[in-house]
Amino acid sequence: MSHPIELPDTGRPVTVYFHSELDDPLAWAQILTEALPDLRFLTGPACDSPESVDIALVWTPPPQGLNAFPNLRAVLSLGAGVDQLQLDSLRNPQISVARLVDPTLTARMVDYCKAAVFYLHRNFHVHQRQQVRRVWKFIAPVDAGTRRILILGQGVLGAAVAVGLADEGFHVSGWSRSPKGLPNVKSLCGENVLAPALAESDIVINLLPLTSQTRGILNRGFFSQIKPDTCLINVGRGAHLNEPDLLEALDEGKVAAAFLDVFDQEPLPPEHPFWSYAQVHVTPHVASLSDPAHSAATVIENIRRAMNRLPLVNAVDRSTGY
Ligand code: NAP
Ligand code: GLV
């Protein structure tokens, strides 16, 4: 499908430099050049004309760094998160940054969190450990409404997960910096409300962005405030979690089970203790991936906006880091 758009006549082709270890350059090249036939799509470690690059479409910074492009107008993240772009090292404050917001990415995150929540809600984590010991022990199911779920982060993804779980009948609260008015979701703001919410939650889902304020938030102090047998779902970033502190909380039985999709070091090294903890469910950063077919329209719109020096869609505030 073609998306004809008008770009200003700069006298030279608009140039996009692509870099990602996860995304398919061919798929992106095809979809972008179909919409913008004059666009130059560059990728690969050797970029012979860095001064021609207008837009960086990247998951992580390329090996030469983003400052290697002296005329860069915009950095378009191939992810919903932008921490991996190391924006603090971007020297030119005029460069605008946008992240991906894509309904498919959101829907996949809702699926992942619902799957993990239902697994825990129906005590599969307990039955799975009983099976290993050949134990036949009945645990009476309870109503979803008796399960209290706390979601850290109420942005695009956290809000969608909150509403999705509330629709399933769970008791859902969402923590954010500013108040929200989501249907059937209790909005919590500020540091002071976190401890009482943690003390009554059965499942905590982390969907915060990684910033200087949220780095390491899932630490010993955090685990000391949760009620016994709380379960954790970390789909934010690995660096939100202090991994040794979680291992300690698991050993002490404070945390009953954890679904971990993101890690300090990815891929998770083979010798990492998480692999062999029965209470830990490891997934390889797959909770939610973007797909060019669904996210290209916004990227194309942002190329148009950047070339016309207009504010970007889904712009990132470089001062807050999300
Ligand atoms: P978003 O729309 O930017 O939302 C961020 C939310 O976090 C907002 O509600 C914000 O509050 C809140 N927040 C930020 N700093 C806070 C703080 N210090 N205290 C309390 N709340 C704070 O982000 P999103 O699109 O929902 O994505 C969230 C994160 O998910 C991404 O940054 C990324 O790390 C992760 N992610 C993971 C995967 C995966 O596959 N595992 C996929 C996509 C994304 P306000 O609303 O008040 O500003
Ligand atoms: C994935 O982790 C993303 O940020 O989109």
* Ligand 2 center–CA 99 separation, angstroms: 9
Q: What is the pLDDT of residues 193-218, one digit of tens each?
A: 999 999 999 999 999 999 999 999 99
* Ligand 2 center–CA 186 separation, angstroms: 26
Q: How far apart are CA 106 and CA 112, in angstroms?
A: 10
Q: Residue 231 in contact with residue 258, Cβ under 8 Å?
A: yes
Query: Residue 32: which of 302, 309, 288, 289 has the closest Cα?
Result: 302
pLDDT score of 276: 96
Supply angle C-alpha 85, 311, 215, rounded to 5: 30
Query: Residue 76: which of 320, 308, 244, 303 has the closest Cα?
Result: 303
Q: What is the pLDDT of residues 89-142, one digit of tens each?
A: 999 999 999 999 999 999 999 999 999 999 999 999 999 999 999 999 999 999
Q: What are phi and psi of 57, to 5 degrees?
A: -110, 100
- The mean per-residue pLDDT over the stretch 16-23 comes to 95
Cβ of 208 less than 6 Å from ligand 1: yes
Q: Is the peptide bond before 267 cis (omega within 30 degrees of 0)?
A: yes
Tally the C-alpha atoms within 13 A of residue 195's C-alpha that lie toward its C-beta.
5
* Ligand 1 center–CA 250 separation, angstroms: 25
Q: Cα 4 from chain centroid?
A: 31
Q: How far apart are CA 185 and CA 181, in angstroms?
A: 8
Residue 305 is a catalytic residue: no
% of the chain at pLDDT higher than 70 = 98
Catalytic residue among 121, 237, 240, 281: 237
